[in-house]
Amino acid sequence: MTNDSAMDRLLSASGRLFIAAAAFLTLAVLAGFGLLAPASTPGQIFWVLASKSTLSSTLRLSVPIVLAALGGIFAEKSGIINIGLEGLLIISAFAAIFGADATGSLWLGFLIGIVASTLLAAVFAVVCIEFRADQIIAGLAVWLIALGLAPFASQVFYGGPNTSNVGTFDTITVPALADIPFFGALFDASPAVYIMFLAVAASWYVLNRTTFGRWVRAAGENPKALDTAGVDVSRVRYAAVLLSGVLSGMGGAALAINIGQFTGNGPTMVNGKGFIAIVAYLFGNYNPVGALLSTTLFAGLDAVQLRLQTADVIAVPDSLVQTIPFVAVIVVLALVGKTRLPEAAGEHYESGEE
Amino acid sequence: MCDTEVFNAYRHRWWDMSQRRRTFISSVGTATAIGLAGCLGGDGGDGSGGDGGDTDSDGGDGDSGPAARVGMVYATGGLGDGSFNDQAQTGAIRSADELNIEYDESQPEAVQDFGSLQQQYAQSSNPDYDLVCCIGFLQADALTETASQYPEQDFMIVDSVVEADNVGSYVFGEHQGSFLIGLMAAKLTSQDFSAGTGSTQSDSTSVGFVGGVEGDLIGRFEAGYKAGVKHAEEDVDVQTAYVGDFNDPSGGQEAALSMYESGADIVYHAAGNTGTGVFRAAQEAERFAVGVDRDQSVTKSDFSDVILASMVKRVDNAVYTSVESVVNDNFEGGAVNTLGLEQNGVEAVYGQQLGSEIPQGVKDEVSEIRQSIIDGDISVPTDPDNV
């Protein structure tokens, strides 16, 4: 058993290292082309990769995925697998626009989005913790409820699955720093992007450096020990799931306010971002920084493929280019399939006192 | 832990919890069903459509009951898209006002819903529908099947041709309208022009096109647009991208931003809801965009400061004409009606706010070329590979 998990960890570490090395090598080769033969196809790809606009596009696309992934990390670290992230994003995206429309303030709308997502997460927590429902099924239910409820509410209030427009946040530009090539994108972005970076840092700190973080990890790894130490496991898990609602709510609200409208047809404007978030934190091995990096990889591919299309660099059929992020997800899962779940994730914990 | 152990553990908990879970799942089922029912819900309560229930409450014209009943199955973008579906609805509202008909609406969630919604109207006997309007080319496959199952029911489809004796097909000359847009865009990017929020970069001559899903239909927009640009100015560069979705505004925004950042002055979209992102990008980049299907400077008035023009497709006329023919008992099943520039099926409509600032010279040229296309002096390609 110990040998196995040690082996697993080694394999997963080498898998990640392998991917990192491969990515670095590819980048180095492209950079070589970019410098020596900027007009060649690989050279052009390099300049697309190295452009400031690709980075800022990547950051914008990353925001909802990273925030949902952070929420997923808290929930799962505490032992509750939350696959309802997609649903939390959907409900908060709608509520944010509705709130902004009703109150006339984008920031109030943002808050209302967070509240809606947190309420739905609370329902999920009660169902999983109090009523001991299977977490996977309850998570799917969260998704399905939001998928039905948000377009329905839009139908009621706006007469169709699409809401009206409420406007967007103004970008915050740091003078001088914003003019740096490539990295300038970090200083010329919407408030949501800064919120994302703050949330990543705060999540990492809370998980690894605070008592609450230790409790969360213990609730997922060894709830019995935590219980013995006199901490109420259920309360820690409630807190963690609610936190996942708050974080996902920020993600969904940011997604919708970035456009200023909620569009609710088919898979809605969220369009699978919650599920990519799950992949992102698994690939990032439950580390907030890892989740940020893996998300920028996926979102970056998305941003790059749009630019390769417009620049007409590679004559690959567009529909094929559009599958790149999803193929990447599969490859990543196959190579890094050894990600270790928290020991007690998915299991209900019953305190001995009852 | 080996796999069977995991499996058994799951199975054990499954049985353990089954009682509670069953109630839970059934409540989830109900919630979802309510949600879906809401989305498919018919007349939307805006009063313009009227519903099938009250046959003689409108009382106006002495005769009880409407002249005809029409079922509308919209495209997946949904109402409120400010373009295609709303334009179709305009036709239904006009028919209701002028022809004394009643209509019922349904907004499919996804492509696989088309068949069942078409059938729902076709097999309904209370009320009995005289015509089912299928909006959007994605409905063609489902309609081919539905039409053969209900040979007595009249259907009409917009944007595609279904060969059946009970289906009237309405297609548009999108390539012709897009040609005029391309012409205008190329003329404007080649000169210094500023109006509203936007302005063209004097040192760059480049325009863009954002498509929804790549295919024959959107290909006609792209082909006409590119041909129009080329006709006006040989050396203007056209950037194109397909987002892969008609309902992905974030994708549209990113695609358009990347075009503006690499020098495009004007981006034309044929991408439904995805286009909202294109307009948002135009405002951010302080450049211009061109709308599609309806006069989007009106339907998306928040963006009227960047919308130069719209390639309007008179889907409403197609709906109205077909309803009229049913009311007058001269519906022609199996006919293909092409609505091009000549029939006013497509038009380049200048933006409400910016239209007056477009130089008269450009406008004159556009109307000149419009006439040459109608006269057949210029033939516009429909396949982007042939431009």
Contact B261 A53 (CB under 8 A): yes
Report the range of poorest mean pLDDT among A312-321, A326-335, B142-151, B363-372. Answer: A312-321
In a domain, A169, yes or no: yes
SS3 B336: strand
Minimum Cα–Cα distance from B112: chain A residue:
A266
A337 touches chain B (CB under 8 A): no
Smallest CA-to-CA distance from B255 within A317, A310, A269 is with A310
Query: What does the pLDDT average to over B328-332?
Result: 90
DSSP symbols for A42-73:
HHHHHHHHT-HHHHHHHHHHHHHHHHHHHHHH
Give the model's pLDDT for residue A47.
80
Give the model's pLDDT for residue A178.
84
- For this complex, say whether ipTM is above 0.85: no
* Residues in contact with A59: Cβ distance below 8 Å, sequence separation at least 6, in sequence order: A185, A186, A189, A193, A196, A296, A299
Specify which residues B238 forms β-bridges with.
B207
Q: What is the pLDDT of residues A301-353, one digit of tens each?
A: 888 888 888 877 765 565 665 666 667 667 766 766 566 788 888 888 887 65
Q: What is the pLDDT of residues B65-93, one digit of tens each?
A: 788 999 999 988 788 777 788 889 999 99
Smallest CA-to-CA distance from B208 within B282, B272, B280, B274 is with B282
In a domain, A261, yes or no: yes
- The alpha carbon of residue A210 is apart from the nearest alpha carbon of chain B, in Å, by 31
C-beta of residue B325 within 8 angstroms of C-beta of residue B331: yes
pLDDT at B15 over 80: no
Q: Which residues of A touch B107 (CB under 8 A)?
A: 160-161, 265
In a domain, A41, yes or no: no
A residues 138-167 near B, CB within 8 Å?
138, 141, 144-145, 147-149, 151-152, 155-156, 158-165, 167
Q: Which residues of A touch B258 (CB under 8 A)?
A: 53-54, 57, 303, 306-307, 310
B residues 280-299 near A, CB within 8 Å?
280, 284
- The alpha carbon of residue A305 is apart from the nearest alpha carbon of chain B, in Å, by 10
B258 touches chain A (CB under 8 A): yes
Smallest CA-to-CA distance from B368 within B193, B187, B189 is with B187
Q: What's the CATH number of domain B69-172, 3.90.1150.10, 3.40.50.2300, 3.40.50.10800, 3.40.50.300? A: 3.40.50.2300
Domain total in chain A: 1
Residue A168 CA to residue A166 CA, distance in Å, equals: 7
B25 touches chain A (CB under 8 A): yes
Q: Which residues of A touch B23 (CB under 8 A)?
A: none
Minimum Cα–Cα distance from A168: chain B residue:
B280
Give the model's pLDDT for residue B32.
42
A259 touches chain B (CB under 8 A): yes
Containing domain of residue A218, as a range?
A: 62-291
C-beta of residue B106 within 8 angstroms of C-beta of residue B72: yes
Provide the residue-wise pLDDT of chain A in tens; the chain has 354 residues: 445 555 555 555 566 677 778 878 888 888 888 787 777 777 777 887 888 888 999 999 999 999 999 999 999 999 999 999 999 999 999 999 999 999 999 999 999 999 999 999 999 999 999 999 999 999 999 999 999 999 999 989 988 788 888 888 888 888 888 888 888 888 888 999 999 999 999 999 999 999 999 999 999 999 999 999 999 999 999 999 999 999 999 999 999 999 888 988 778 888 888 988 998 888 788 999 999 998 888 888 888 888 888 877 765 565 665 666 667 667 766 766 566 788 888 888 887 654
Contact B254 A60 (CB under 8 A): yes
B14 touches chain A (CB under 8 A): yes
Q: What's the CATH number of domain B174-313+354-386, 3.50.50.60, 3.20.20.210, 3.30.428.10, 3.40.50.2300? A: 3.40.50.2300
Give the model's pLDDT for residue A92.
97
- For A266, which of B240, B247, B280 is closest by C-beta distance? B247
Residue ranges of the domains in chain B?
69-172, 174-313+354-386
C-beta of residue A100 within 8 angstroms of C-beta of residue A166: yes
A252 touches chain B (CB under 8 A): no
